[in-house]
Amino acid sequence: RVNDIKNVLNVLYPDPPVPLNHTDKFTFLVAVVLSAQTTDGKVNDCTKVLFSRAPTPQLLSAMPVEEVQRIISPVGLAPKKAQYLVSLSKKILDDFNGEIPSNYRDLESLPGVGHKTASVIMSQAFGEPAIAVDTHVHRLALRWGLSKHEKNVDKVQQDLCALFDRSDWNNIHLQMIYFGREYCTAVSHTASQCPICSWVHTSKPVPSSFDHFPTQKRAKGIVYYSDRIAELHKDPSLTACSPVKTFSEYTCVAAATNTYLGSTADGEVSNKGRGKKRKNGVRGKVVLKAESVTKVKEEDDTMKVIKVEKVVGERRSKRIRTKKNV
């Protein structure tokens, strides 16, 4: 069951990017602290202003708490978080020579940094395998029967780490977050319409296709997988922990945006027409990995694929036609 879950997550969310905007380890730490009990979208809106003013511990430690609070006021618990940010900046300067600690003990000594935040920093900023348990990861672990601990997130983390290979931990954390936002939400969830809950507690086989599983209605402020990938391709500077790969390395996903990479030379692929059935019969969730793309030109919402040596994905048996020859 664990391998099946991992395989589904890998198909739906290959190479999951960090949803929080940042430029280095310090700004990533700030963004993670801000993300508690609020949406990543709100955090990204606030940090755009905050990081333009104070992108370093030196500058942030010198800002008045009231000014920091004013900037981050849209996020939850802003008064307390403003105090945390100024205090942790001072502690980083005083105790760690301006560098972000690379171990759990020192990270958790910083104001506003608990074990979950430290796990995120260790895994995504330092590459140390960890599964940080947030509300989505906790909910999914219980629903899928991967843990029985409803109130102890530390034990949930231990259960998940025991089930999944260490090399998968960092991806599993992000994949479960994206899955929890798009399919396995806290409310309005129907097990039969979920790509994992529909079979995980039954003898049913894993679906061979996920086209017929609907994603939940999108909520304001939530960062979704396909949107994040598109955002990072437009502006790679939004992340330091999830460097944007070239099209020859990266996985292009036709999830909510219906963006397709064509397997024919010099084909145009548009992400217009969300939710509409294409003339070639392709719609919904199609995961395509383009290998050995020699040239890609992006113009507005259209990608011109000059050459694709090989396209593999959910619809391996189907030739994915392009806009040009439809």
Active site residues: 116, 134
Dist CA 78 CA 17 (whole Å): 26
Tell how strand 267-270 and strand 302-313 pair up.
Answer: antiparallel
Return all residues near 215 (Cβ < 8 A) that are at least 6 apart.
Answer: 182, 183, 255, 256
DSSP string, 246-309: PTTTSEEEESTT-----SSTTEEEE--STTPPPTTS--S-EEEEEEEEEEEEEETTEEEEEEEE
Question: For residues 170 and 197, what is the distance between their CA atoms, to the nearest angstrom?
Answer: 22
Let me know the angle formed at the C-alpha of 226 by 220 and 228, rounded to the nearest 5 degrees.
Answer: 70
Per-position b or e across 213-231, b if 16+ CB within 10 A of its CB: bebbeeeeebbbbbbbbbb
